[in-house]
Amino acid sequence: MDKYGLEEACRLAKRILRQEALKGEELIVNISCGRRPETIGVLLAAYTAPVEVSRHINNIIYITGEGEVIYLPVIRLRLGAKLRVLKALKDGPMSMKELREALGLKGGGIYRLVKDLMSMGLIYVNSKKVSLTSAGRIVIDEL
């Protein structure tokens, strides 16, 4: 990966992980690639990979300058109903009412989902509109 920003590095890593997972390979993700945006992008790709990809990730490693291998936790992000909220916001910000109607939800269920996604750093509310953060865009990228 040469001269990628965080989001582009994540997109590229997600594509590579998906291709390798489709081959049925067990994956080891090495985040020792140098520049911080690229390293974080690769790590985010591993952590936000869809279930059909993440189940193939066995290890996430970082190799220090001295050659020591550090094993990082393999975290599988499970979103369930929250993923529907993220997908609904893919085309742009929505009011809570618009979001609730788009998802066909009744009552206060949308508020709990929004609160959970905000605490995860995937969405934010500004001027009564709900929007994706850059991390939220990374999660739903290529879905």
Segments of the chain assigned E as strands: 27-30, 57-63, 69-72, 94-95, 123-126, 129-132
User: pTM value?
Assistant: 0.70
Number of DSSP helices (H) and strands (E) in the chain, helices first: 7, 6
What's the maximum distance between 2 C-alpha atoms anywhere in the chain?
56
Q: Give the ranges where 58-108 is alpha helix by DSSP (H).
A: 81-88, 96-103
* CA distance from start to end of the chain: 22
Average pLDDT over residues 132-141: 85
**Backbone torsion region of residue 103, taken as left when φ is above 0, otherwise alpha when ψ lies between -120 and 50, otherwise beta:** alpha
Give the angle subtended at the CA of 139 by the CAs of 117 and 12, to the nearest 5°: 160
Residue-wise pLDDT for 41-92, tens only, equals 888 888 888 888 888 999 999 988 888 999 988 887 777 788 889 999 999 9
Cα distances from 8 to residues 38, 54, 107, in angstroms, run: 8, 19, 38
- The string of pLDDT tens digits covering residues 119-133 is 989 999 998 899 999
